[in-house]
Structure 1
Amino acid sequence: MNANAPENGKTLAVVAYITIIGVLIAFFMNQEKQNKLTAFHVRQSLGLWLLYFILGYVISGFDSWMLTYSFWIFFAVLFVYGILGAVSGKLNSIPILGDVFQKIFKSLGN
């Protein structure tokens, strides 16, 4: 079976979205196989996690539960979208930001 087949990279692609540690695990485990699906989702999830931490720091300065819940819902939807793309084996970019993440982190993976 081809090492670049989507079925071989689904597990690591899903792991990349679980936590920031999952991104590191998926990245290092993908170094040997160089699966395109996993590399794509590592770039997507790394961008999401970094944006989550940066915006979370900014939003934590506000004392508004509406803003906080909106932030959590926004990122929950994006992470679920990414996980569903990884499970289905598709290279679906995250809306609005996915292409930016692919350009910024193009040196990671293939």
Structure 2
Amino acid sequence: MSNQTVNDGKTSAIISHFWILGTIIAFFLNLNSKNSFASFYIRQMIGLHLLSFLNGWLVYKYIGGFIGWGIGVVLFIFWIISILGAFGGEKKLLPVFGEHFQNWFKSL
């Protein structure tokens, strides 16, 4: 991937990391240009938001708060890995789920 592609998509990639609203804003910013770097991180964050939602909705509610808290910590670590990759200008797949997110949301 060229430095120009990374530089053009870095802002949207970073914006996508700030809550679901940031991901939505980054998605719309990336609609016209379809920057591959920004699209990569938008897909990662959509997947991470879905995991976070499922953690809050299913795990906390049906399994328990302690396990939900532990999963929340792991998801936060995944978020840190992702945002550091976006700031660094390199595509970092999230552990375990990253490749799946890229495949599931490849149309974005």
Q: Same fold (TM over 0.5)?
A: yes
Q: Counterpart of 1:106?
A: 106
Q: Could you say which residue in structure 2 is the equivalent of 1:52?
A: 52
Paired position in structure 2 for 1:94: 94
Cα distance in 1 between the residues matched to 2:73 and 2:47: 17
Q: What is the number of residues matched between the two proteins?
A: 107
Cα deviation, residue 63, structure 1 = 7.2
The Cα of 1:31 is off from its aligned counterpart by 1.0
- Listed one character per residue, the Cα deviations across residues 42-87 of structure 1 (whole Å, up to 9, x for unaligned) are 0000011011101221122257443232122111100011101111
Partner of 1:31: 31
Instruction: Please report the TM-score for the alignment, with normalisation by the length of structure 2.
Output: 0.89
AA of the residue aligned to 2:93:
S
Root mean square deviation, CA, Å: 1.9
The answer for unaligned runs of 5 or more in structure 2 is none
Question: What amino acid does structure 1 have at the position aligned with 2:51?
Answer: L
- The runs of 5 or more residues in structure 1 that have no matched partner are none
Matches of residues 62-73 of structure 1 in structure 2 within 5 Å?
62=62, 64-73=64-73
Q: Which runs of 4+ in 1 moved over 6 A?
A: none
* Greater RCO structure (CA 8 Å; 6+ sep): 1
Aligned counterpart, 1:12: 12
Code of the residue aligned with 1:9 in structure 2: it is: G
Flag the structure with higher helix content. 2
Preserved contact between residue 37 and residue 91 of structure 2 (Cα < 8 Å): yes
Residue identity (%): 32
The 8 Å contact of residues 52 and 72 in structure 2, kept in 1 or not, is answered as no
AA at the equivalent of 2:46 = L
State the Cα distance separating 1:88 from its structure 2 match. 0.8
TM-score, normalised on structure 1? 0.88
Equivalent residue number for residue 76 of structure 2: 76
2:13–2:26 Cα contact (<8 Å) kept: yes
